């Protein structure tokens, strides 16, 4: 009976933790210059770039790729991969020289070589994404040990994560800012160890990607086929 009661208690705890860990809270703020969809003619592309202010700070490349895939899903928008763009414009978008302000971008486009390459690749919009995902609080611990009889892990640990990002849309043809999207996602993850550790991970970065990617997608019109 005691064993059965313990089993039921553990099962109930796992169910509660699973429900809690799988839920995240997301807040999205949006600013648009106009309520009209952004113009995007056939053949024109969008590139999404992560901010890299210094060697120790970088918006995660995997997150940038996730937004690009979300934006391009369904063929609505043609998105150039970030690394392809960086390789094509080396070294102009390396951390020390990248145009973090629109005025600086305008100065770069005064260089015929850069302007010709932008036009040649049909890059219409540059979307800068700034932010990161961080662990904000940790509690508890899990310990594991090996014995002659086998061994196992015991304990309980929890941690909170916050994903905060902002995307800024630049129109390189008109050289102005078309809008911004801010997203903040929070969630708690858990590990319950009773012989074997069982993790329940809150996908805060994934939720942030969905939120910001889908909102950016709504900025654009459908791409018209080239004649």
User: Cα 171 to chain center, whole Å?
Assistant: 21
Does residue 146 lie within any of the structural domains?
A: yes
Collect the ranges in the chain with pLDDT lower than 50: 1-12, 15, 19, 21, 222-227
Number of structural domains the chain divides into: 1
Does residue 69 lie within any of the structural domains?
A: yes
Yes or no: say if 105 and 99 are a contact pair by the CB < 8 Å rule. Answer: yes
Q: Give the residue from 177, 172, 160, 206 showing the smallest Cα distance to 62.
A: 206
The helix/strand/coil state of 114 is helix
- What pLDDT does 152 receive? 75
Does residue 225 lie within any of the structural domains?
A: no
Does residue 190 lie within any of the structural domains?
A: yes
CATH code, domain carrying 37: 3.30.160
pTM over 0.95, yes/no: no
- What pLDDT does 216 receive? 93
- What pLDDT does 96 receive? 82
Does residue 227 lie within any of the structural domains?
A: no
Please name the residue ranges forming H helices in the chain.
Answer: 2-21, 61-72, 82-88, 102-109, 112-120, 204-217
Please name the residue that has the structure tokens 């900025």: 219
Does residue 113 lie within any of the structural domains?
A: yes
Distance CA 227, CA 221 (A): 18
Does residue 223 lie within any of the structural domains?
A: no
Q: 3-class secondary structure for 50-82?
A: ECCCECCECCCHHHHHHHHHHHHHHHCCCEECH
Cis peptide before 94 (omega within 30 of 0): no
Q: What share of the chain is helix, strand, coil (3-state, %, to 5)?
A: 30, 40, 25
Range of the domain at 31: 2-217
Beta pairing, strands 176-200 & 25-32:
antiparallel
Does residue 72 lie within any of the structural domains?
A: yes
Q: What are the strands of the beta sheet with 123-147, ordered from one edge?
A: 25-32, 176-200, 150-171, 123-147, 45-50, 79-80
């Amino acid at each position: 009976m005691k064993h059965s009661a313990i089993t039921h208690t553990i099962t109930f705890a796992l169910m509660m933790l699973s429900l809690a860990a799988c839920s995240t809270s997301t807040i999205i703020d949006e600013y648009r210059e106009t309520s009209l969809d952004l113009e995007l003619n056939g053949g024109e592309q969008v590139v999404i770039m992560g901010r890299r202010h210094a060697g120790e700070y970088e918006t995660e490349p995997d997150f940038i790729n996730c937004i690009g895939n979300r934006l391009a899903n369904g063929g609505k928008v043609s998105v150039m991969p970030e690394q392809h763009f960086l390789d094509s414009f080396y070294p102009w978008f390396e951390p020390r020289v990248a145009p973090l302000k629109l005025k600086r971008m305008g100065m770069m486009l005064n260089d015929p070589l850069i302007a010709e390459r932008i036009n040649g690749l049909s890059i219409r919009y540059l979307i800068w994404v700034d932010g990161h995902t961080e662990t904000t609080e940790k509690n508890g611990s899990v310990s594991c040990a090996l014995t002659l009889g086998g061994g196992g892990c015991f304990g309980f640990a929890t941690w909170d994560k916050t994903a905060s990002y902002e995307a800024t849309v630049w129109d390189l043809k008109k050289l102005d800012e078309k809008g911004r999207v801010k997203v903040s996602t929070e969630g708690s993850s858990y590990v319950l160890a009773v012989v074997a550790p069982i993790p329940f991970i809150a996908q805060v970065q994934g939720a942030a990607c969905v939120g910001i990617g889908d909102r950016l997608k709504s900025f654009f019109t459908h791409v018209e086929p080239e004649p």
